[in-house]
Amino acid sequence: MTTILAFAFVLGVLIFVHELGHFVMARRVGVRVLKFSLGFGPRLAGFKRGDTEYVLSAIPLGGYVKMAGENPDDPRTGRDDEFLSKTKWQRFQILIMGPLMNLILAVVVTAFVLMNGAEIPSFQSKPPVVGQIAPGSPAEKGGIRTGDLIVSVAGREVKTWEQFFIAVGTRPDRETPIVYERDGRQVSTTVTPTPQTKYEVGDIGVLPDSHPHVGSILPGSPAEKSGLKTGDVILKVDDTIVTFPNQLVDVISKNANTPVTMTIVRSGAEQIVHITPELNGGRGRIGINIGEDVIKIKPGPIDAVAMSFQRNYDSAKLIFQTVGQLITRETSTRQLMGPLAIAQLSGESAQAGWLPLFALMASISLNLGLLNLLPIPVLDGGHIFIMTLEGLARRDFSVKVKEKMFLAGFAVLLMLMVTVIYNDLTRIQVLQKFMPWR
């Protein structure tokens, strides 16, 4: 139920904001709006005020604003309040306002999240100096060693761990040139990142020299009985290296009532601790609060907006880079997510709290705004693209030409929808046994 409600909330806000942009600008330039719909298909509820019918429809995967004289084959009277009676500049303003509202929402929501405080792992902004290498990993096979400084991935410079993880993560099962620096000289190698997690994020098995530590211990817990102490740095659980808190949580959760060997660092020396996670709430727990080296930020309103602009700008560059890599097949289409995956992420974020849910909303809003600007007929960007071509040609295209353009755009979107829904289905564990080719 949490997943459904969170998904409905996120999607509802994004659709409403997008269509509100079209609606407000249409009214501003004097275009008569016939219908404002949240959702497609059969009408569930609605009311009419003035010339506009406001509707909530059954299929909640989009929305639309229907304007008078919007399409060439619509009945037209030639009145000034019809969409096609307006100048190209006025029509451009109406079309651009939907995606623009999503971009504005992304900036505003991100700023709100930052103002409420954020914790960033300290290693994330540091140079990608290899601190750990997983045994048998692509990095080890490619000759990369502890202490090497990663310089570039697939020809793109990486200056921080964050940039490195993004560069490698978008290239699962793709041969990837890596340039690293060792003893003052640069060395090249080629590795193939292995897909990890159900979202198939590329990984070559290198990690920073960072590990979670014991923040506090619950009295009477397995951690206290085993001799763990506050401040202990956890390197490994059995043979699994742990760098991030979620890795530690995962490996402990899977070993309820099963003894594990934990390698820790205490007072500068490595030690071995034997511990048996107890079953609690359906998963293994050892009774510690996990600490992590983080940078805490809580900017004021002005700084938060500035940071939000920068973060969204960086994310926008990554989105366009990913689109380009999809076209050139550098990035696998298996990483694309559809409505089912977004619903699951919404549920997981909602369980983590309101701030993670708002952060996810900002991310999806940015993606929605930018992808709607792509020059694909049917999308807002496609309408703008066709209108631009008409402006350059100094004539309007015929209805038949436009129909062919929109049919091609619809085919592209249909293929995209089939791909993302297929990807979503392959991530459902119950269905995986029916897909032996995966």
Q: What is the pLDDT along the chain (438 residues), one digit of tens a residue?
A: 778 888 889 989 999 999 999 999 999 999 999 999 998 888 889 899 988 999 998 888 788 899 988 876 667 677 888 998 899 999 999 999 999 999 999 999 999 999 998 778 888 888 999 988 988 999 999 999 999 999 999 989 999 999 999 999 988 888 999 999 998 899 999 999 998 887 788 999 998 988 888 888 889 899 889 989 988 889 889 988 888 888 888 899 988 889 999 998 988 889 999 999 998 888 889 988 888 777 788 889 999 999 999 999 989 988 888 888 888 877 777 778 888 888 888 888 888 788 889 999 999 999 999 999 999 888 899 999 988 988 888 888 887 888 888 888 888 888 888 888 888 777 776 666 666 655
Among 93, 94, 101, 95, smallest CA distance to 16 is for 101
Q: Name the residue type at position 211.
A: H
DSSP designation for 236: E
Q: How far is CA 433 from CA 332, 335, 423, 426, 429, in A?
A: 22, 20, 15, 9, 8
164, 179 Cβ separation under 8 angstroms: no
240: number of CA atoms within 13 Å, CB side? 15
Give the per-residue pLDDT at 435.
Answer: 62
Q: Say what the pLDDT of residue 297 is.
A: 81
- Two domains, one topology: 124-207 and 213-290: yes
- Residue 181 has what DSSP assignment? E
Q: How far is residue 262 CA from its own chain's centroid?
A: 33
Domain covering 213-290, topology: Pdz3 Domain (2.30.42)
Contacts of 206 (CB under 8 A, 6+ apart): 128, 130, 132, 133, 134, 137, 139, 144, 150
Percent of the chain clearing pLDDT 90 (strictly above) = 37
For the chain, helix, strand, coil in percent to 5 are: 45, 25, 30
Q: From the CB of residue 284, how many other CB atoms can be counted at a distance below 10 Å? A: 22
Predicted pLDDT of residue 137? 92
Residue 339: predicted pLDDT: 83
Measured at the CA of 321, the angle between CA 209 and CA 307, to 5 degrees, comes to 65
Instruction: Tell me how far CA of residue 42 lies from CA of 51, 159, 316, 410, in angstroms.
Output: 20, 51, 35, 21
As a whole number of angstroms, the distance between CA 151 and CA 159 comes to: 7
CB 51 within 8 A of CB 62: no
End-to-end CA distance of the chain: 29
**CA gap 139, 206 in Å, rounded:** 7
Catalytic site residue 119?
Answer: no
With a threshold of 0.75, does the pTM exceed it? yes
- To the nearest 10°, report the CA torsion of 95, 66, 43, 99: 10
Residue 93: the pLDDT is 95
Q: What is the pLDDT of residue 351?
A: 83
C-alpha 13/C-alpha 410 separation (Å) is 25
Q: Which residue among 19, 70, 82, 200 is the active-site one?
A: 19
**Rg of the chain on CA atoms, in Å:** 26
pLDDT digits (tens, 9 = 90+) for 149-179: 999 999 899 999 999 999 999 888 889 999 9
Element (DSSP H or E) covering residue 264:
strand 260-266
What is the pLDDT at residue 39? 86
Q: Which CATH superfamily does the domain covering 124-207 fall into? A: PDZ domain (2.30.42.10)
Domain boundaries of the chain, sorted by first residue? 2-113+365-432, 124-207, 213-290
pLDDT in tens, 169-225: 988 888 999 999 998 899 999 999 998 887 788 999 998 988 888 888 889 899 889
| Residue 334 DSSP class | G
According to the model, what pLDDT value does residue 434 have? 61
Q: Around 161, how many Cα atoms within 13 Å sit in the side-chain half-sphere? A: 18
